[in-house]
Structure 1
């Protein structure tokens, strides 16, 4: 029963599952498993996400997104809405002088790990320019984690069992720069600290970054150059709602 609910609700954590269950489903679980149901649910979710990550890592990007990975929160846009959304995304790229074909090629290159030394896709520019929106459309197709760089000691601990990492507004300081260089290169030599456990060797995981400022703002020029050598960078300058109209509909990651 629990495995069916986990798969049907696409639950990635116990908290996620609890939020998605109806009251009747909760009562049925209590009746069948008693107060120990959470332990069974945790193990089931762990097995489900491990299987999901294996599938995502095995399949090339285009093959995976063209498969049936429909998200439960999808608002089921009509064909007309999808066409309008596609036109709006094309306009977003055009107004920022970004080649539609090239950026798609670069996204595939990062996710499918085509380059041995470049493992990061960076969108750089002022707020409200569509950077986070575009990256969410990419990453939400995958089992991903968001890195908050304020959590310095354990900021990478949740990445070992993920397919992709989303980094928002990284503040890369001299004490962190070597770890970030390893992360952005994806060389598989980064040991990350895990709370209440030993260090874990992080495998290569594609990195997607949204930032309002220069990645090397807080480090010297040599380290700054080393960071950017490991990234594909696109600059977004046009503000949504001012320079570009707002999207006609809420963009959907699974369409």
Structure 2
């Protein structure tokens, strides 16, 4: 089934290729969580839920009946952004022989990337989902003043010490709100390094500024797939919605969910 409704759409294959490239390229530039999370899937566009197993997963057998414990099911919500291309613009581009302006799909891809990161980092109250920044069971560290001194370095080192002491070793990643990231772009006296560069050495360079999701946000994770990953049903794709008033309407969509299997692999700096 062509769920993206592309086969019968009045869009030339060459233009579809350019739209796809504009969407994927711009989404990759702005997606943050996919830079450190492993992907689980794609499971297919029809997948509506995905299992999240904890370390305590087991099969309980009793009185001839077996059931799996330590497992919960999480919905794979659809995330989408729409855009349009005006028929007059397409006709003029074809007549004059110049490229179609793909600013609209590029901007929609940027919004789609922001929506995905927001779901992963902060969850969704409407969907009953938690994100990395507000996960129940995450380790909380009261952070010092990251604008001066060495509090930032000490706090991140504290977080890594906590993770390693709980045998959570592997790929550490630090996600910061933009102003926190910029506050670390300062020289440390008598060291000759930026504070950000010192911290980056602790996490093998995996420090990521997130989008505009609120001020003063910082989270450290051990991003190994046994602790967390990103479940993907339908990966980011472009579908054709309709032709209305001769103009063409499209939808960028995906179905994804954060699978946080071990909340102790998350350190939130408050």
TM-score (norm 2): 0.28
Structure number with the bigger relative contact order (C-alpha 8 A, sep ≥ 6) is 2
Higher helix share: 1
TM-score normalised by the chain length of structure 1: 0.29
Greater strand fraction, Structure 1 or Structure 2: 2
If you compute each CA radius of gyration, which structure gives the higher value, 1 or 2? Answer: 2
